[in-house]
Structure 1
Amino acid sequence: MWIERLDASHALAYRELMLEAYDRHPQAFTSSVRERAVMPLSWWEGRLTSKLDVVLGAFEAGTLAGIVGLAFEPREKARHKATLFGMYVSADFRQHGLGFELVQAALVEARNHCALKLIQLTVTAGNAAAFNLYQRCGFIQYGLEPLAVRVGEEYFDKIHMWREISAHQRGGETVDSSSTG
């Protein structure tokens, strides 16, 4: 398994995996399979080449098995924030720690942006597996958005979470900058 930043050459595989995600878990995403399926391949390429987004992909035996993105805030007063988005691992590759590895890779990417102070995300209330994953990765719940997503006639709440990014954190551990050595 390896994780790398996706580029325009991955657009078709990225589109396929995201459409799978929207279809299998419509309550987890704000976008729907119907609205994204009609987007031209150039739209997907643009998502992967945007200066405001980074999309990482996990590959198993050459197959794109999971994805996660970071959207950086362009406005001057909010450039210290990024949003983790589009987290998905295909059902065939779950239960092997791939989700954890993707979030960790996103955190490493975030640390490469020196102005970045925090990452925020939303997770559908009731999605215990995703919520627990984000907690294990250091995210803290700070709010609940009621009726955030409507799928058919059913509404789903979204839990808002955040995590501070520190230049002194490496590999998931906090380094004590006061120690000598």
Structure 2
Amino acid sequence: MNSPTPDSQDVHILPLPVAHAAQYRELMLHAFKHEPDAFTSTHAERAALPFSWWEQRIDDPQQNSIVFGAIAGGKLVGTVGLEFSVRAKTSHKAHLIAMYTLPEWRGIGIGGKLLGAALAYARRRPGVEVVTLTVTESNRPAITIYEAAGFCSFGLEPMAIRTSDGYKAKNHMWLHLMAP
């Protein structure tokens, strides 16, 4: 996945159109393969899904989710998603999912811009007051981005995922969107 020299000025953050489903699938399969500890899903699980699953992930007809993309020169270099709870007692919550930026595009603010776009969207969505996420405890760069955006930890789930290197804990974080 070769990319031009990274420059955050050349990156556009937008809700991902379904026309980018093939790039989204490629990016996420790359993420699952090369950063397996960062995700609960595995490369094998996601690679086996039909292409229509990826299209629906981007273009959810029920509008219970949205995926944002970081596009540089027509190429998808980063992504983040939000899933909105449809249950009555939890309809005030959204869950941040699948945050990923290609390694060669890290360190120039793309992750923060993706997160900012997702949070701005959540704030505009009627009834959404809280955004939650889980992040592998050892993923310090991601935790730093989340904390900078105001997320707070509310628990550590031991043995949350089992990897080839053993068990990994997941840090559960939340952000109250209405907080000053």
Match of 2:101 in 1: 89
TM-score normalised by the chain length of structure 1: 0.90
Match of 2:39 in 1: 29
Question: Which secondary structure does the structure 2 equivalent of 1:39 belong to?
Answer: coil
Listed as ranges, the matches of 1:146-161 within 5 Å are 146-152=158-164, 154-161=166-173
Code of the aligned partner of 2:35: H
1: distance between equivalents of 2:14 and 2:31? 20
1: distance between equivalents of 2:134 and 2:112? 16
User: Could you tell me whether the CA contact under 8 Å between 1:53 and 1:71 is conserved in 2?
Assistant: yes
* 1:123 maps onto 2:125 in alignment: no
Deviation at 1:94, TM superposition (A): 0.8
* 1:48 maps onto 2:62 in alignment: no
Match of 2:8 in 1: none
Aligned-residue sequence identity (percent) comes to 43
Match of 1:74 in 2: 86
Aligned pair count reads: 168
Deviation at 1:152, TM superposition (A): 2.5
Unaligned runs of 5+ in 1: 175-181
1:135 to 147, 150, 153: 147
* 1:101 maps onto 2:113 in alignment: yes
Root-mean-square deviation (CA, aligned residues, Å) is: 1.1
Question: Which secondary structure does the structure 2 equivalent of 1:20 belong to?
Answer: helix
Question: Which secondary structure does the structure 1 equivalent of 2:40 belong to?
Answer: coil
Deviation at 1:7, TM superposition (A): 2.6
Question: Which secondary structure does the structure 2 equivalent of 1:116 belong to?
Answer: coil
Larger radius of gyration: 1
1: distance between equivalents of 2:21 and 2:31? 15
Unaligned runs of 5+ in 2: 1-10
Structure 1 residues 12 and 135: alpha-carbon distance in aligned structure 2, compared to 1, 3 A threshold: same
Code of the aligned partner of 1:9: A
Match of 2:3 in 1: none
User: Could you tell me whether the CA contact under 8 Å between 1:85 and 1:121 is conserved in 2?
Assistant: yes
User: Could you tell me whether the CA contact under 8 Å between 1:7 and 1:45 is conserved in 2?
Assistant: no
Instruction: Please list the CA deviations of residues 43-66 of structure 1 after superposition, one character each: whole Å capped at 9, or x if unmatched.
Output: 100111112110000111111010
Deviation at 1:140, TM superposition (A): 0.3
Instruction: Please list the CA deviations of residues 91-118 of structure 1 after superposition, one character each: whole Å capped at 9, or x if unmatched.
Output: 1211110001000011111011120010
Question: Which secondary structure does the structure 2 equivalent of 1:55 belong to?
Answer: strand
Task: Give the 4+ runs in structure 1 shifted more than 6 A.
Answer: none
TM-score normalised by the chain length of structure 2: 0.90
Code of the aligned partner of 1:157: A
2: distance between equivalents of 1:8 and 1:88? 18
2: distance between equivalents of 1:131 and 1:8? 29
